[in-house]
């Protein structure tokens, strides 16, 4: 019995867990497990995408208005950041397979840096939405009491950055965004979409009911409610995506520790590969979120059709 135990200890591959017969069986099991988890995640996000498509089909101009409020530059930047992070994640797997500890550690660190940049950009965007009254919960936006000239709702006050807006407003003695109750707000620029769509005959029957009162007059409050639906979906989808990114960074931190300890080699690298699948999935979800939230409908305010 002692000789048999010694033989098992000597032939036991690195990283092989006791419940598996060999490394091939272990790799197949963890791969199937991760793909099963990702299938569940696809169904989870699929429900959110379905909600987006349903409401967008009913209120396309309100969703176009919400899309125009978002800053496409930040969306482009985050898309580029995640694409590059997928490259560094793939290289992490490659160098783990080659047994190159130093380059593997560097690639994992770079992946974490790009993930952190993504979250930093989302923090900038969320702060901007809070400042300009685009949080879809009344009372959750920044409270700006009305001053002597609190009625200012000019386009320049809406479209400039918060710091620039405040400087200009201070020079003019005005409050840039009077919002004494922290309510959700839209500007006249977003309302112009409805006028343009009505002139071009683009409004659907659902929109005619959703944006206008019983007398056929445009109701700004009803339209604002529909734009608010867009921002509900925006914050739920991007918030849950950011949560997945935070989980991914936690996984990267664990991989970094293991890689530093020379855990992975050409014989045992499955944790890096499986973690890479999760990271790539999170990146792919954003590839869909970016055009749906930031780009669709943006051409209307640019004079397109």
CB-based contact 67:294 (threshold 8 Å): yes
Residue of 93 and 202 predicted with greater confidence: 93
Residue 31 has a pLDDT of 76
Residue 144 has a pLDDT of 87
Residues of the chain with CATH 1.20.120.80: 25-141+187-302
| Nearest-angstrom CA–CA distance, 240 and 215 | 41
CB-based contact 267:14 (threshold 8 Å): yes
Residue of 5 and 73 predicted with greater confidence: 73
| Nearest-angstrom CA–CA distance, 149 and 183 | 19
Residue (of 163, 95, 102) closest to 131 by Cα position: 163
Q: Which CATH architecture has domain 25-141+187-302?
A: Up-down Bundle (1.20)
Residue 197 has a pLDDT of 80
The mean-pLDDT minimum among 52-66, 188-202, 211-225, 284-298 falls in: 188-202
Residue 11 has a pLDDT of 57
How many CB atoms neighbour CB 92 within 10 A?
A: 30
Residue 191 has a pLDDT of 85
The mean-pLDDT minimum among 5-19, 82-96, 119-133, 243-257 falls in: 5-19
**Virtual torsion, Cα 265, 268, 270, 276, nearest 10 deg:** 0
Residue 215 has a pLDDT of 86
Residue 129 has a pLDDT of 95
> Does position 159 have pLDDT exceeding 70, yes or no?
no
Residue 301 has a pLDDT of 54
User: What is the arithmetic mean of pLDDT over 40-54?
Assistant: 94
The mean-pLDDT minimum among 66-70, 148-152, 178-182, 227-231 falls in: 148-152
């Amino acid at each position: 019995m002692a000789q048999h135990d010694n033989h098992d200890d000597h032939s036991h591959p690195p990283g092989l867990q006791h419940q598996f017969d060999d490394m091939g069986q272990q790799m197949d099991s963890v791969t199937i497990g991760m793909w099963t988890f990702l299938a569940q995640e696809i169904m989870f996000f699929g429900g959110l995408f379905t909600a987006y498509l349903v409401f967008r089909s009913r209120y396309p101009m309100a969703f176009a208005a919400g899309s125009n409020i978002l800053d496409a530059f930040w969306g482009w930047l985050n898309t580029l950041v995640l694409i590059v992070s997928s490259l560094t994640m793939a290289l992490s797997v490659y160098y783990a397979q080659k047994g190159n500890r130093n380059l593997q550690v560097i690639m994992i660190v770079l992946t974490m840096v790009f993930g952190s940049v993504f979250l930093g950009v989302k923090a900038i965007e969320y702060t901007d939405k809070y400042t300009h009254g685009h949080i879809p919960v009344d009372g959750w936006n920044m409270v700006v009491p009305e001053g002597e000239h609190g009625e200012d709702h000019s386009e320049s006050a809406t479209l400039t950055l918060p710091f620039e807006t405040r400087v200009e407003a201070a020079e003019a003695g005005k409050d840039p965004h009077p919002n004494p109750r922290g309510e959700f707000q839209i500007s006249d620029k977003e309302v112009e979409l409805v006028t343009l769509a009505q002139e071009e005959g683009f409004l659907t029957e659902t929109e005619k009911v959703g944006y206008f009162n019983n007398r056929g007059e445009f109701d700004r409050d009803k339209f604002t409610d529909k734009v608010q639906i867009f921002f509900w979906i925006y914050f739920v989808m991007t918030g849950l995506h950011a949560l997945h990114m935070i989980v991914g960074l936690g996984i990267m931190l664990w991989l970094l520790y293991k890689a530093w300890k020379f855990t992975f080699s050409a014989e045992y690298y499955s944790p890096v590969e499986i973690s890479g699948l999760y990271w790539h999935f999170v990146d792919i979800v954003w590839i869909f979120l970016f055009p749906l939230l930031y780009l669709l409908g943006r051409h209307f305010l640019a004079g397109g059709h």
